[in-house]
Structure 1
Amino acid sequence: MVTGVVASDLLLVPAHPEHVDFWLALRAEAGARRYVDTEDDSREVLVKRILEAGTLEEPRAKGFRWFVRQGDAWVGTVSARDVSREHGRLQIGYMMAEAYHGRGLGSRAVGMMLERLFTLPFLHRVWLTTLSENLGSQGVARKLGFSLEGTMRGHSVLRGERKDQQFWGMSRSDWEARRRG
């Protein structure tokens, strides 16, 4: 039985090693490699990352990962990392399979994740980064109410090329106001 967070036909399933084949395939897609350096991580490295992912109930967890399922299909992954209880913040990430781009599933999955993350009493703020050319990911951030907080020119290197990186943020009060609104 698959258990997780459900929003109509979308399900967030806590990461387990049996998800590694889907994750490898997802990371190998041209759309994923266009914006993220995914070629260096082996199966073993990804299984280790899955095993290191904590649960929301673990008080010392430094990160969380869920795989996104729609019906019988795995469609993406969402994650939180660099969890700092002291500073009340964490960074989120997401990746959807190319076949599911443009359907709003990424926004829904990230929204479901935020719904869970903001149950953490220490959490004050979340942030994410996008490359300046990644319009789809920027659309997810905007749709969910993130604010563009700045662009760092030449901040990232992707396959040897310097890229501008955007930083987007959202506070708990932003999220709660959006939910009420």
Structure 2
Amino acid sequence: MFVREVDESLMLALVEPGFAARYLEIVDAEREYLGRWLAWPHNAHNREFFMSFITNALQGYSAGQSLTCGILYQGELVGNVSLNKIDRQLSKTDIGYWLSEQCQGQGLVTRAVSELLHIAFDELKLEKVEIAAAVENLASRKVAQRLGFTLEGVIRRAENIDGRVVDHAVYGLLAQEWHSSSV
């Protein structure tokens, strides 16, 4: 199983069936909070939802098309971060993430995404990583900005979140930019 220690308090672990119950627990407690910027929490009402998600994520990992990890903070599962849709032809991927409200403001997502950037650029040898976030989702946008991503544009009417249509700010980071900033 893929496990990556980010630092003494933070680990990333490939999703596994044992995560389903904890994911459901987080979403049940924080559905309104998570549903503000994510479309799926409004449909995540049972363990089977997360089992299906995990099964699909593991199939994607096995096929080399994605990497979906649980975020473990001080040993507790608190969120998710992933390389979605690894495109070998274009040598790029996009990153998605979510985190329990209780763990916000500690830099966990920034550190987790930074680790995925190492994987994307140094291990998978990809040339570009993208992050898309709702224009009004300032916390998510700040993650991209802190890590040196460039705002490439705004996609209007990009996503329907429980009946509310939002625009996406799309950020990109090239391998050469990552490597020159990491020196």
TM above 0.5: yes
Query: Against the structure 1 CA distance between its residues 72 and 57, is the aligned structure 2 distance closer, same or farther, given a 3 Å change threshold?
Result: closer
Matches within 5 A, 1:146-157: 146-157=149-160
Q: What is the one-letter code of the residue matched to 1:113?
A: L
Give the total of aligned pairs. Answer: 178
Q: Secondary structure at the match of 2:52?
A: helix
Residue number in structure 2 paired with 1:23 = 23
Query: Against the structure 1 CA distance between its residues 133 and 71, is the aligned structure 2 distance closer, same or farther, given a 3 Å change threshold?
Result: same
Q: What is the one-letter code of the residue matched to 1:4?
A: V
1:44 matched to 2:80? The reply is no
Distance 1:56 1:152 in 2: 26
1:8 deviation in Å? 2.5
Percent identical among aligned pairs is: 26
The one-character-per-residue Cα deviations of 1:59-115 (angstroms, maximum 9, x if unpaired) are x32111111112132221101111111110111101111001111111011111211
Residue number in structure 1 paired with 2:141 = 138
Maintained 8 Å contact 2:19/2:77? no
Distance 2:115 2:124 in 1: 17
**Among candidates 72, 88, 92, match of residue 89 of structure 1:** 92
1:118 matched to 2:117? The reply is no
The one-character-per-residue Cα deviations of 1:18-50 (angstroms, maximum 9, x if unpaired) are 001222233441221110112224533432332
1:100 matched to 2:103? The reply is yes
Distance 1:57 1:98 in 2: 27
1:75 matched to 2:78? The reply is yes
Distance 2:74 2:2 in 1: 13
Query: Against the structure 1 CA distance between its residues 102 and 62, is the aligned structure 2 distance closer, same or farther, given a 3 Å change threshold?
Result: same
1:10 matched to 2:10? The reply is yes
What TM-score do you get using the length of structure 1 for normalisation? 0.88
Q: What is the one-letter code of the residue matched to 2:25?
A: A
Maintained 8 Å contact 2:155/2:168? yes
Distance 2:102 2:74 in 1: 14
Q: Secondary structure at the match of 2:21?
A: helix
Query: Against the structure 1 CA distance between its residues 44 and 145, is the aligned structure 2 distance closer, same or farther, given a 3 Å change threshold?
Result: same
Distance 2:54 2:118 in 1: 21
Q: What is the one-letter code of the residue matched to 1:31?
A: Y
Residue number in structure 2 paired with 1:32 = 34
Larger helix fraction of residues: 2
Maintained 8 Å contact 1:56/1:120? no
Q: What is the one-letter code of the residue matched to 2:145?
A: R
What TM-score do you get using the length of structure 2 for normalisation? 0.87
1:117 deviation in Å? 2.1
Distance 1:130 1:8 in 2: 29
Is there any run of 5+ residues in structure 1 with no aligned partner, and where? Answer: none
Q: What is the one-letter code of the residue matched to 1:12?
A: L
Maintained 8 Å contact 2:61/2:67? no
Is there any run of 5+ residues in structure 2 with no aligned partner, and where? Answer: none
